[in-house]
Amino acid sequence: MNGARHDLSAANEKKQEPNVDFALTFEQQALIDSLKEFVKKEMLPHEGLVEEQRAVPKEIAKDIYEKGKAAGFVNMGMPEEVGGGGLDYETMALVSRELAKVSTALSLCLKSPSKILLGCKGEQRERYLMPAMRGERLDCFALTEPGGGSDAKAIVTRAERDGGDWIVNGVKQFISHADVADFMVLFAVTGMDETPKGPRKRFTAFLIDHDTPGVTITPMKSICTRGYNPNMIYLDNVRVPDNQILGEEGQGFNFANDWLYSGRVMLAAHCCGLAERAFEMACEWAATRKAFGKTIGEFQGIGFKIADMAVDIKTTFLLVMEAAWKMDRGSLTRHEASIVNLYGSEMVGRVTDHAVQIFGGMGMMEDFPIQRFWRDARIERIWEGTSEIHRDIIARDILREYRS
Ligand SMILES: Cc1cc2nc3c(=O)[nH]c(=O)nc-3n(C[C@H](O)[C@H](O)[C@H](O)COP(=O)(O)OP(=O)(O)OC[C@H]3O[C@@H](n4cnc5c(N)ncnc54)[C@H](O)[C@@H]3O)c2cc1C
């Protein structure tokens, strides 16, 4: 017995891996405390109005942005070289969790550009990345099409060479906040390659200004994330100069993949925050609402829901922190990103559903935000890759190791 114990510690010493420590540092705690206060004071009071109007009034958006900028809450995850806060993924996961305590539309007011824009080169930096860093321009991500969602390689939007320009034609669907953004990162097919497995499309990412002739954007009405709308984008003979290719021609998807992994972890962190808010409200309700002469939390049927919600949230938080920790060390794999996305998005569905149930009829009323949490939670199983696609990735990556 003693010998076995000795062997184990010797093996651990040999590996010399750093210890995982998720205790918040002093700086992280201070940041989260002040962000919490900011959300409560500057953002939450507008939530009802945004839900009702399905839009964030411009003056409110500007006010939140200016105050958030002064407090250091914009561009937190962007590198310091471009004027960002340079926060690591672990801290950004905590930030994402905190910002999920308010509706997505309002949290977008602290607009930070997508990290995909770090691929901007030369004058693209001055036209797209830096104005986005200064909050003067907002980007959106245009990949999905009516015929290509989960199967992203089925997209048919085409860009064809015309002298030093490209002519883009196609339709993009469900593009978040395109109605308030200034430019898009658009994915198009720019040709075909012959490969041993047959012809393969070449995908290229383009930076396209929304005011370019031939671009039309029309909002779609969704039941989730009111004020943060999905949109149709129609591109009719849109002329785009060659120097608006983001990255290299034919390398569009390599770009998107790097960015998608961190998005999946941040989505799960967001799910934690949304679930926590629903959980706290459900606990307060369970502790005060009475039926049959008792508070409903005293019934095992409700108490067990509270327990399951607590376990679910805690589990997701640990998964998120481990994934973020790995991302900071460049060791997060594709299927690990899918695991945390899948677990977080399904967790928030279970938790918000329990919360609605605990509120009973009041859970369905627009007077309470519980129904919003439940509606907003539903999209999490779809938009950063559906649950089925994540399960497929996890199974394929794991089984590949057994086959080889
Ligand atoms: C509100 C909202 C905002 C969005 N924002 C953006 C955005 O900003 N930019 C952007 O580019 N896209 C965006 N999307 C698109 C989103 O990424 C897609 O909706 C998602 O990838 C799913 O594609 P789809 O809707 O075409 O569903 P489909 O791909 O048609 O899937 C339909 C169903 O079939 C299942 N399915 C498909 N293939 C398989 C398979 N191989 N195995 C098992 N099941 C499968 C799916 O899991 C799903 O259940 C947004 C969507 C919504 C609803």
pLDDT digits (tens, 9 = 90+) for 333-385: 999 999 999 999 999 999 999 999 999 999 999 989 999 999 999 999 999 99
Give the pLDDT of residue 284.
Answer: 98
Looking at per-residue pLDDT, the higher value among 2 and 377 belongs to 377
How many domains does one find in the chain?
3
CATH of the domain at 82: 1.10.540.10
**Closest approach atom of ligand 1 to CA 388:** 47
- If pLDDT is split at 50, 70 and 90, which confidence band does 15 have? low
- If pLDDT is split at 50, 70 and 90, which confidence band does 5 have? very low
CATH of the domain at 359: 1.20.140.10
Give the pLDDT of residue 47.
Answer: 96
Q: pLDDT digits over 127-157, tens only?
A: 999 999 999 999 999 999 999 999 999 999 9
**Does one domain contain both 238 and 260?**
no
Q: How far is CA 172 from CA 44, 104, 147, 236, 243, in A?
A: 32, 22, 9, 12, 22
CATH of the domain at 172: 2.40.110.10
- If pLDDT is split at 50, 70 and 90, which confidence band does 3 have? very low
**Does one domain contain both 290 and 196?**
no
Q: How far is the CA of 172 from the centre of ligand 1 (A)?
A: 13
Q: How far is CA 387 from CA 254, 338, 397, in A?
A: 22, 9, 15
**Does one domain contain both 267 and 386?**
yes
Q: pLDDT digits over 102-136, tens only?
A: 999 999 999 899 999 999 999 999 999 999 999 99
* Tokens (6 digits) for 28: 């992280």
* 59 catalytic residue (yes or no): no
Instruction: Report if residue 329 sits inside a domain.
Output: yes
- If pLDDT is split at 50, 70 and 90, which confidence band does 17 have? low
**Which residue of the set 27, 98, 384, 388 is catalytic?**
384
- If pLDDT is split at 50, 70 and 90, which confidence band does 11 have? very low
Q: What is the DSSP string of 168-236?
A: EEEEE-S-TTTTT-SEEEEEEEEEEEEETTEEEEEEEEEEEETTSTTEEEEE---SSSTTS--EEEEEE
Q: Taking CB atoms and a 6 Å cutoff, what residues make up the pocket around ligand 1?
A: 140-144, 149-150, 174-176, 222, 224, 230, 379, 382-383, 386, 388-389, 392
Q: What is the 3-state secondary structure (H, E, C) of 233-271?
A: EEEEEEEEEHHHEECCCCCHHHHHHHHHHHHHHHHHHHH
Residues 186, 147, 179, CA angle at the centre, nearest 5°?
Answer: 45
Q: How far is the CA of 347 from the centre of ligand 1 (A)?
A: 19
pLDDT at 73 over 70: yes
Instruction: Report if residue 349 sits inside a domain.
Output: yes
Q: Which domain holds residue 195?
A: 139-246
Q: pLDDT digits over 378-395, tens only?
A: 999 999 999 999 999 999
Summarize the confidence of residues 270-299 as an average pLDDT: 98
Choosing from 94, 121, 148, the residue where a domain stops is: 121
The distance from CA 235 to its chain's CA centroid, rounded to whole angstroms, is 26
**Does one domain contain both 271 and 388?**
yes
Q: How far is the CA of 380 from the centre of ligand 1 (A)?
A: 11
Mean pLDDT of the chain: 94
Instruction: Report if residue 128 sits inside a domain.
Output: no
**Does one domain contain both 157 and 240?**
yes
* Tokens (6 digits) for 347: 């967790």
**Closest approach atom of ligand 1 to CA 384:** 17
> In 10 A of CB 247, how many CB atoms?
19
The residues, any chain, with a CB within 8 Å of residue 88's CB and separated by 6 or more, are: 324, 328
Percent of the chain predicted with pLDDT > 70: 95
The CA distance from 390 to 381, in Å, is 10
Instruction: Report if residue 18 sits inside a domain.
Output: no
**Does one domain contain both 33 and 100?**
yes
Give the pLDDT of residue 22.
Answer: 86
* Tokens (6 digits) for 232: 């149709």
Radius of gyration (C-alpha) of the chain in whole angstroms: 23
**Does one domain contain both 63 and 151?**
no
**Does one domain contain both 231 and 267?**
no
Q: How far is the CA of 279 from the centre of ligand 1 (A)?
A: 28
**Does one domain contain both 95 and 176?**
no
The residues, any chain, with a CB within 8 Å of residue 276's CB and separated by 6 or more, are: 97, 101, 313
Give the pLDDT of residue 16.
Answer: 57
**Does one domain contain both 260 and 381?**
yes
* Tokens (6 digits) for 106: 């309002």
b/e map 196-216, b = 16+ CB within 10 Å: eeeeebbbbbbbbebeeeebe
Prediction pTM value: 0.94
Instruction: Report if residue 7 sits inside a domain.
Output: no
Give the pLDDT of residue 49.
Answer: 96
Instruction: Report if residue 5 sits inside a domain.
Output: no
Instruction: Report if residue 134 sits inside a domain.
Output: no
- If pLDDT is split at 50, 70 and 90, which confidence band does 12 have? very low
- If pLDDT is split at 50, 70 and 90, which confidence band does 30 have? very high
**What CA dihedral angle connects 127, 73, 330 and 320, to 10 degrees?**
-130
> Mutate which of 104, 116, 145, 150 to test ligand 1's pocket (most atoms within 8 Å of Cβ)?
150
Give the pLDDT of residue 320.
Answer: 98
Q: pLDDT digits over 285-317, tens only?
A: 999 999 999 999 999 999 999 999 999 999 999
The residues, any chain, with a CB within 8 Å of residue 100's CB and separated by 6 or more, are: 107, 269, 270, 271, 272, 273, 274, 277
Summarize the confidence of residues 167-179 as an average pLDDT: 98
Longest dimension (CA), the chain: 79
Choosing from 227, 246, 265, the residue where a domain stops is: 246
Q: pLDDT digits over 234-269, tens only?
A: 999 999 999 999 999 999 988 766 678 899 999 999
- If pLDDT is split at 50, 70 and 90, which confidence band does 403 have? confident
Residue type (1 letter), 346: E
> In 10 A of CB 34, how many CB atoms?
14
Choosing from 246, 276, 307, the residue where a domain stops is: 246
Residue pair 166/207 in contact (Cβ under 8 Å)? The answer is: no
**Does one domain contain both 260 and 394?**
yes
**Closest approach atom of ligand 1 to CA 143:** 11
Instruction: Report if residue 126 sits inside a domain.
Output: no
Give the pLDDT of residue 219.
Answer: 96
Query: Quick one: CA dihedral 370, 24, 16, 259, positive or negative?
Result: positive
Kindly report the protein residue whose alpha carbon is nearest to atom 31 of ligand 1. Answer: 150
Kindly report the protein residue whose alpha carbon is nearest to atom 16 of ligand 1. Answer: 383
**Does one domain contain both 32 and 168?**
no
